Amino acid sequence: MLMDENQMVLQEAIASLADEGILCISCSHWHKFYSEMHRFGTFDQQEEEKKKKEKKKRKGRRRRKKKEEEEEEEKEKEENIEHEPTTTDHNDDLSENRREISIRMLLHVILQAALRAECYIKPLMSFYSNGCVKLFVRVGQSRLICKSMCTFDGIAFYCRTCHSSTACSFAVPATSKQHASLKASHIPAGAQVCSQCNVRTAIIGPLWVGPLHSTVFVKKSLEFMHTSGEWLQNRSYLIQVLTFFFFKIYLFVCLYK
């Protein structure tokens, strides 16, 4: 997903923070993690004029086709013809969760760079603000913990109708002991059917399947803001953001514990 130069810079930054450091990332091009890259070229003026004319012709053809389709639909409604419901035109539904998907995909890229440097990561807090995706990730060095990082990497099956999702990690611990051996998890091949809507789900990934926030970090940050954070100019805004994350994590733990 990232360019080779950016991957090298990210890997060097993670290697320098191997002794328990915090990596802060702000990504303004977060939309590129879930959409395809578009490349634009330079052309001469004559070629540009020709292309403009071709575009106008294509627009006219599309308008004619739309009018014909609308007329056909009106005729079908008048005749009361029943049609089977379709579930393919739901591209806008997936865009509602595009920010969380981009954050999880970015964490997957950070995890891959950390594993190359024999480091592990732990997301402390990640959110979207002012057109940028911002992540605070703790980086440490431990071979045993690096081995268990595979359980936080996987794919997700997303339903476009009821907006439900199920995550599947690539690896699962073989035993209940800490730092035990891992085994490959059972990931179904191809798109699955939603248990609630009976509709084929979309496959998203690879991405980070683990938690996006740390309860300990958020709680300590809130305590710092209330006790000794008076010198900050945006103190009230930070308290609002941290309280929102704290109650969001608390509700998630209570409902899914």
Question: Could you tell me the pTM of the whole model?
Answer: 0.62
Residue 207 has pLDDT above 60, yes or no: yes
Distance of CA 256 to the CA centre of its chain: 21
Q: What is the pLDDT of residues 33-81, one digit of tens each?
A: 544 333 333 334 455 667 777 888 888 888 888 888 888 877 776 665 4
Q: What percent of the chain has pLDDT over 90?
A: 0
Tokens representing 109?
């890229």
Residue 224 has pLDDT above 50, yes or no: yes
30 or 149: which carries more pLDDT confidence?
A: 149
Q: Burial code of 84-106, b = ≥16 C-beta within 10 A, e = fewer?
A: eeeeeeeeeeeeebebebbbbbb
Q: What is the pLDDT of residues 116-173, one digit of tens each?
A: 888 888 888 887 777 778 888 888 888 778 888 888 888 888 887 877 777 888 877 7
**pLDDT given at position 252:** 39
Which superfamily does CATH assign the domain made up of 4-33+92-212 to? Answer: Vaccinia Virus protein VP39 (3.40.50.150)
Phi, psi for 32 (deg, rounded to 5): -75, -10
**pLDDT given at position 45:** 46
Separation in Å, CA 185 to CA 128, 146, 208: 31, 18, 15
**pLDDT given at position 132:** 79
Q: Which amino acid is at 110?
A: I
Q: CB–CB of 106/27 below 8 Å?
A: yes
Ranges of each domain in the chain: 4-33+92-212, 213-257
Q: What is the pLDDT of residues 183-193, one digit of tens each?
A: 655 666 656 78
Q: CB–CB of 14/110 below 8 Å?
A: yes
**pLDDT given at position 171:** 74
Q: For residue 149, give the DSSP letter.
A: G
Distance of CA 188 to the CA centre of its chain: 21
Those residues whose C-beta lies under 8 Å from the C-beta of residue 152, and which sit 6 or more positions away, are 111, 169, 208, 209, 210
Q: CB–CB of 192/201 below 8 Å?
A: yes
Q: Which residues, listed in sequence order, are joined to residue 82 by a DSSP beta bridge?
A: none
Those residues whose C-beta lies under 8 Å from the C-beta of residue 142, and which sit 6 or more positions away, are 120
pLDDT band at 203 (very low <50, low <70, confident <90, very high): confident
**pLDDT given at position 70:** 83
**pLDDT given at position 254:** 37
202 or 28: which carries more pLDDT confidence?
A: 202
Mean pLDDT value of segment 206-220 = 86
Alpha helices in 127-168 (DSSP H): 143-148
d(CA 165, CA 155): 10
pLDDT band at 214 (very low <50, low <70, confident <90, very high): confident
